[in-house]
Amino acid sequence: MSSLRATLDFLLYDWLKAERLTSHARFADHSRETFDAVLDTCERIAREKYAPFNRLVDTQEPQAVDDGQGGLKVVLPQATHDAHEAYVASGMVSAAQDYDEGGMQLPYTIEAAANGFFATASVSIGSSLLTKGNANLLMVHGTEMQKEVFARNEFAGRFTGTMCLSEPQAGSSLSDITTRATPDGDDFERDPLGARYRLKGNKMWISAGENELAENIIHLVLAKIPGPDGKLIPGTRGISLFIVPKRLVGTDGQLTGERNDVALAGLNHKLGWRGTTNTLLNFGEGKSPVRGSAGAIGYLVGKPHEGLRCMFHMMNEARIGIGMAATALGLAGYYASLDYAKNRPQGRPIGPAGKDAAKPQVRIIEHPDVKRMLLAQKAYGEGALALMLYCALLVDEQKTGTPEDAEEARLLLEVLTPIAKSWPSEFCLEANSLAIQVHGGYGYTRDFPVEQYWRDNRLNMIHEGTHGIQAADLLGRKVVMEGGKGLQLVAGRINRTLESALQRPDLAQHANDLAKALQHVGAATKAAWATGDPQAALANAVPYMQAFGHVVIAWIWLDVLLTVPDRGRTPAQVGRVQAARYFFHYELPKVPAWLKVVETRDPTCADTPEEAF
Amino acid sequence: MSSLRATLDFLLYDWLKAERLTSHARFADHSRETFDAVLDTCERIAREKYAPFNRLVDTQEPQAVDDGQGGLKVVLPQATHDAHEAYVASGMVSAAQDYDEGGMQLPYTIEAAANGFFATASVSIGSSLLTKGNANLLMVHGTEMQKEVFARNEFAGRFTGTMCLSEPQAGSSLSDITTRATPDGDDFERDPLGARYRLKGNKMWISAGENELAENIIHLVLAKIPGPDGKLIPGTRGISLFIVPKRLVGTDGQLTGERNDVALAGLNHKLGWRGTTNTLLNFGEGKSPVRGSAGAIGYLVGKPHEGLRCMFHMMNEARIGIGMAATALGLAGYYASLDYAKNRPQGRPIGPAGKDAAKPQVRIIEHPDVKRMLLAQKAYGEGALALMLYCALLVDEQKTGTPEDAEEARLLLEVLTPIAKSWPSEFCLEANSLAIQVHGGYGYTRDFPVEQYWRDNRLNMIHEGTHGIQAADLLGRKVVMEGGKGLQLVAGRINRTLESALQRPDLAQHANDLAKALQHVGAATKAAWATGDPQAALANAVPYMQAFGHVVIAWIWLDVLLTVPDRGRTPAQVGRVQAARYFFHYELPKVPAWLKVVETRDPTCADTPEEAF
């Protein structure tokens, strides 16, 4: 029986040899045993505190109620509080931090794997990823005082954190944000917490923007400091980053008792992912004036106008995190539908003489079309999981490897991150649809978990940069940057796998198919940019990303197969061979269809005039 | 601006020349004017009574409450009652019936087109299709008395109707139903309403199985009459069909005041399509014994053991009805996202020097990737709509055409119906996902209608024969039946289109691409059956159906383009050219990928042992 733990163990140790991370100085005190202890703990918390409440957080959405002070507060189910507490108590919020900081210097690879348990159990009940990302950012870009007062209290679980980027009129287009930050008094530069500003503006799509899970919420807010003419600087250059606590904090880290001028304006009611509160926040509208005037008090992080660079420092990890969530949901649906298919009797096999109705019904896993739907889910879900862990290991290489390894990891991640974010978002969503289909009518009811997985997963193509934005990033920047060095490195890694696979008669056909597809992607990349016109090159960026993603997943599967002997295979190994074969036979042949429009720079869509729709 | 009405007018009159139906004797009194009057009325009712309440019926699901008599009844929102009344009052329930029956002898083609308005406005608020199907069946297979007492009262709106096929242990596998029907007393054959039986068993997934919309509910129930040994006959041969009224009815059509032994056991709580009550019904469990004993009283329809044949008489129309619902939802999402894209400003075009942040934002319809997502929706939705109307016209040909035309229509429908049901279910669902994507984060909220379209549409791959069952029907029966005559006829129609298209330089490339794809489907059909082993042939029936479906839609688009001049085109005509081009450039190239596994009879899925998953 497939299980997430068994698959993780195989991928981490047999395939990726993750123990080799312990040769890096930072992880020297670690061993497979310490890694396993973390996985054990997270698996248990996810099983006990997350999984049983996944449906509950879907049906009992966050509620905005009167806070008794003229504003709104958010009420969450008790289960959400309990899950949050258990997560904090496990030490996972600060697991990646230095020992000196109370952390365990855990590799990101192990943390990402552990996140798989939580996301499979209940993707939306916890939102600690944001707190972690927020505090991590402050550890890199904050002052010593900001680290002490804000980041360390987030790691300790006293405060939670948010990332406030989007605005109602500027979703994907951050250059158009209009939240203003103006100096707060003549002494604004002398505040020990950082240069003090007053912020005014509205932020949209803020996850965990309001709740009572902890003492305080630390918002990291993108805003623009007006120029000398009082105008906002157009574009992303004008953006700065601020710490805006919900409740003001003293240099001792204690709450001062002052409520900041940040108001919950409303909750977004979503299709899925309902365990996580998603908010519209008004900064500085004057609802709760603070220290005598309207405007939310915020402390500058880093230098003015460098906010976006600071915010995107953690982007690779955030995007791999989304890919991991999508992957975990895909696997959750796979396990649920596999279980159903093994237990549900219905229908009979078709023989040369048709069906024999006098025979008892068989379990639906015996039908080839049900096997097809299960194998597709396995190929998508486990293929995606392998890619996520591969990328997570690159994150560790980039941070703690030798300078050469770090540089190579950086370049590989540039190219692979858009795939790691987008591919599971699309194909593990498709896996969830197949999980519904395996269940038949039951899959369409809320008595089974698969419909929720499908709804939850639909978010992943949208947040943290939409599919379209990932595609433009991949074809518009990543494969051409630094003279195409990143793309060459990815091709180099693929070729290394191909060389090994070509040695093996049982893998040679897959290797040849992949080599052809890789060559095709290379040629299409060149053809897309043949005229040098980005508008023409990028018109079909999404099909390009789909093709590229399929080639990457095929490569990952082939590389996984290098661990499988050519005879005497265990059932799990047979499963990997079959899932890979599924991917090579059923999926890889789609690549030419996607690339056709890329290499011809097909202008059909771009050329369609508005009035023709 | 696209609208459903404009598209229907074009497809019905400019493309299909639907007025030619008036040359059939049955439709002799009709004209484009009478057709248009029906469309006008339905468009208005859908706009006034359906569309405004689509979200309401999603959030206020049917509730099962105590009926005060020890059982359960269903409470529906007032809007559902109002929509039902308006639909009945319009005469649409009986529109297709003879003038003598109070009908208007409306062609099915026009009825199907009119249904598009209702399904676009609110696919689940009305469930009159079932009442119609039920009454239609009785008009064909019922006795004069059954027609009088049951069917005519359904057409008049006094009674509603259901179809009770599935059982909890037998969803797609009807041969395994266990509902028993035993003769009710020695005089059971002398009941004027039909041979009287007592039914015992549980029926699952019964739409509109309980409600208070009308005076009574007429269930059509599949059940097995035990053989002389008291055992149920295995397989579908043993199945008979019964009328089981919720409340007993006299020969005068009036309620006798007796409640039948049919009990609502529960409601299914679904992912979508929530306006339609879906029930689990217990027949004859003795909760409300009738005429002194337990067992639901039912009247045999047609001969014993011919129940399935009777029930499937209307199958083509029912399946085209599902395809139409899926199509309508696809178009609803297209219109919503088109409207959004035309009004939402965000981002800027990318030029050779990147983006100029000083310029104002553009509306998102100006971005090529958004155009791609809109054009895909248009190509899917309008292509599917054209196929639905094409098939609906074949239904009319089959019923009212010359014997030769009728026979040709019958065979064409055998092959095209599985496509008409499955293709929109899959690709108009994909269209709805694109509609969400166009909206970005807003599309993921319940403040916009697109997430509901996507949820509602997910049902269509499941009910009325799952995707897998349609595929097995297509490749296992329809393309090989009667010596492959149906397939040859479809190919003949496609070739007729190709001949005309090849005359036109602007269409010749499309024609060549389609000719190649058609040939490929033919070759793959042969290859799939090369060994004569159905298990091998059908292992990849779903990819076969996907490929076949794409070829059919490409053909339909090419045929539509024959109406478009090669110059001096209107915006609407440009739109058709671009949507067709999208389909030929972006979609048709996927056909070889799907057919590859078909023609090699790829055994990967079937060969995967259970323990390998």
Tokens representing A510? 């897959």
Statement: residue A58 has pLDDT above 80 = yes
Give the tens place of pLDDT for each residue, A411-451: 999 999 999 999 999 999 999 999 999 999 999 999 999 99
pLDDT attached to residue B590: 98
Other C-beta atoms closer than 10 Å to the C-beta of B6 total 11
If you search the block for the tokens 């469990």, which residue do you land on?
Answer: B285
**Is the minimum CB–CB distance between B595 and chain A shorter than 8 Å?**
no
Statement: residue B1 has pLDDT above 60 = no
What whole-number percentage of chain B has pLDDT above 70? 100
User: Which chain B residues are within 8 Å of A358, Cβ to Cβ?
Assistant: 234-235
User: Which chain A residues are within 8 Å of B472, Cβ to Cβ?
Assistant: 350, 369
pLDDT attached to residue B2: 63
Tokens representing B500? 């005309």
Angstrom distance (rounded) from CA A105 to CA A209:
29
Give the tens place of pLDDT for each residue, B333-350: 999 999 999 999 998 888
What whole-number percentage of chain A has pLDDT above 90? 91
Tokens representing A308? 């976006």
What whole-number percentage of chain A has pLDDT above 70? 100
Give the tens place of pLDDT for each residue, B3-14: 999 999 999 999
Mean pLDDT of chain A: 96
pLDDT attached to residue B349: 85
**Is the minimum CB–CB distance between A596 and chain B shorter than 8 Å?**
yes
pLDDT attached to residue A357: 83
Angstrom distance (rounded) from CA A417 to CA A249:
36
**Is the minimum CB–CB distance between A374 and chain B shorter than 8 Å?**
yes
pTM: 0.97
Shortest CA distance to B423 belongs to which of B556, B513, B536, B294?
A: B556
Give the tens place of pLDDT for each residue, B451-468: 999 999 999 999 999 999
Mutation test of the interface with chain A: which of B268, B270, B613, choosing the one with the most A Cβ atoms within 10 A? B613
DSSP A429-458: HHHHHHHHHHHGGGGGBTTSTHHHHHHHHG
C-alpha pair distances (Å), B241 with each of A29, A482, B221, B298: 74, 72, 6, 9
Give the tens place of pLDDT for each residue, A472-518: 999 999 999 999 999 999 999 999 999 999 999 999 999 999 999 99
Predicted interface score ipTM higher than 0.90? yes
pLDDT attached to residue B524: 98
Angstrom distance (rounded) from CA A439 to CA A31:
41
Give the tens place of pLDDT for each residue, B111-144: 999 999 999 999 999 878 899 999 999 999 999 9
Angstrom distance (rounded) from CA A459 to CA B391:
36
Number of separate helices (H) and strands (E) present in chain A: 21, 12
If you search the block for the tokens 């056991």, which residue do you land on?
Answer: B265
Instruction: Kindly state the average pLDDT of the residues B363-391.
Output: 97
**Is the minimum CB–CB distance between A358 and chain B shorter than 8 Å?**
yes
Instruction: Kindly state the average pLDDT of the residues B67-92.
Output: 95
Shortest CA distance to B12 belongs to which of B524, B385, B302?
A: B385
User: Which chain B residues are within 8 Å of A354, Cβ to Cβ?
Assistant: 534
**CB of A382 closer than 8 Å to CB of B209:** no
Would you call A567 exposed, middle or buried from its count of C-beta atoms within 10 A (0-12, 13-18, 19+)?
A: exposed
**Orientation angle between helical segments B315-343 and B108-122, nearest 10 degrees:** 50
pLDDT attached to residue B354: 79
CA A526 to centroid of chain Cα atoms? 29
For residue B512, which amino acid is it? N
Instruction: Kindly state the average pLDDT of the residues B569-574.
Output: 97
- What torsion do the CA atoms of A468, A472, A473, A475 make, to the nearest 10 degrees? 130
Q: Which residues, in sequence order, are bridge partners of residue B183?
A: B197
- Strand, helix or coil for residue B499: helix
Q: Which residues, in sequence order, are bridge partners of residue A289?
A: none
- Strand, helix or coil for residue A351: strand
Which of A234, A350, A436 shows the shortest C-beta gap to B458?
A436
**Is the minimum CB–CB distance between B513 and chain A shorter than 8 Å?**
no
Tokens representing B432? 């709805």
If you search the block for the tokens 């990318």, which residue do you land on?
Answer: B350
B85 is catalytic: no
Tokens representing A239? 């953006």
Mean pLDDT of chain B: 96
pLDDT attached to residue A2: 64
Active-site residue, from B43, B111, B414, B464: B464
**Is the minimum CB–CB distance between B610 and chain A shorter than 8 Å?**
yes
Angstrom distance (rounded) from CA A479 to CA B335:
35
Give the tens place of pLDDT for each residue, A297-310: 999 999 999 999 88
Using only the alpha carbons of chain A, give its radius of gyration.
Answer: 25
Could you give phi then psi for residue B433, rounded to 5 degrees? -65, -40
User: Helix, strand, coil % (nearest 5) of chain B?
Assistant: 60, 15, 25
For residue A467, which amino acid is it? H
Q: Which residues, in sequence order, are bridge partners of residue A218?
A: A161, A245
If you search the block for the tokens 């460098």, which residue do you land on?
Answer: A306
- Strand, helix or coil for residue A137: helix
pLDDT attached to residue A285: 94
Tokens representing A393? 């290991």
For the annotated catalytic residues of A, the residue numbers are: 464
User: Which chain A residues are within 8 Å of B446, Cβ to Cβ?
Assistant: 269-271
Q: Which residues, in sequence order, are bridge partners of residue B445?
A: A270
Would you call A444 exposed, middle or buried from its count of C-beta atoms within 10 A (0-12, 13-18, 19+)?
A: buried
Instruction: Kindly state the average pLDDT of the residues A561-583.
Output: 97
pLDDT attached to residue A432: 98
Angstrom distance (rounded) from CA B221 to CA B204:
11
Give the tens place of pLDDT for each residue, B143-175: 999 999 999 999 999 999 999 999 998 877 888
Angstrom distance (rounded) from CA A24 to CA A404:
14
Shortest CA distance to B222 belongs to which of B162, B293, B153, B295?
A: B162
Alpha-helical regions (H) of A358-466 = 368-400, 403-439, 450-457
User: Which chain B residues are within 8 Å of A170, Cβ to Cβ?
Assistant: 346
Statement: residue B103 has pLDDT above 90 = yes
How many Å lie between the alpha carbon of A612 and the closest alpha carbon of chain B?
4
**CB of A417 closer than 8 Å to CB of A409:** no
Statement: residue A1 has pLDDT above 60 = no
CB within 8 Å of B118: residues ≥ 6 apart: B42, B45, B46, B50, B87, B126, B328
For the stretch A576-610, what's the b/e string if a residue is b when 16 or more beta carbons lie within 10 angstroms of its beta carbon?
A: bbbbbbbbbbbbbbbbbbbbbbbbebbbbbbebee
Give the tens place of pLDDT for each residue, B169-197: 887 788 899 999 999 999 999 999 999 99
Shortest CA distance to B508 belongs to which of B548, B549, B551, B562?
A: B562
pLDDT attached to residue B16: 98
Residues 557-576 of B with CB under 8 A from A: 571-572, 574-575
C-alpha pair distances (Å), B497 with each of A76, A521, B159, B388, B521: 61, 35, 45, 18, 17
- Residue A167 is given by DSSP the state B
What whole-number percentage of chain B has pLDDT above 90? 91
For the stretch A476-491, what's the b/e string if a residue is b when 16 or more beta carbons lie within 10 angstroms of its beta carbon?
A: bebbbeeebbbbebbb
**pLDDT band at A53, cuts 50/70/90?**
very high
For residue A199, which amino acid is it? L
Residues 521-560 of B with CB under 8 A from A: 532-535, 538-543
C-alpha pair distances (Å), A188 with each of A151, A287, B278: 22, 22, 64
Give the tens place of pLDDT for each residue, B255-311: 999 999 999 999 999 999 999 999 999 999 998 899 999 999 999 999 999 999 888
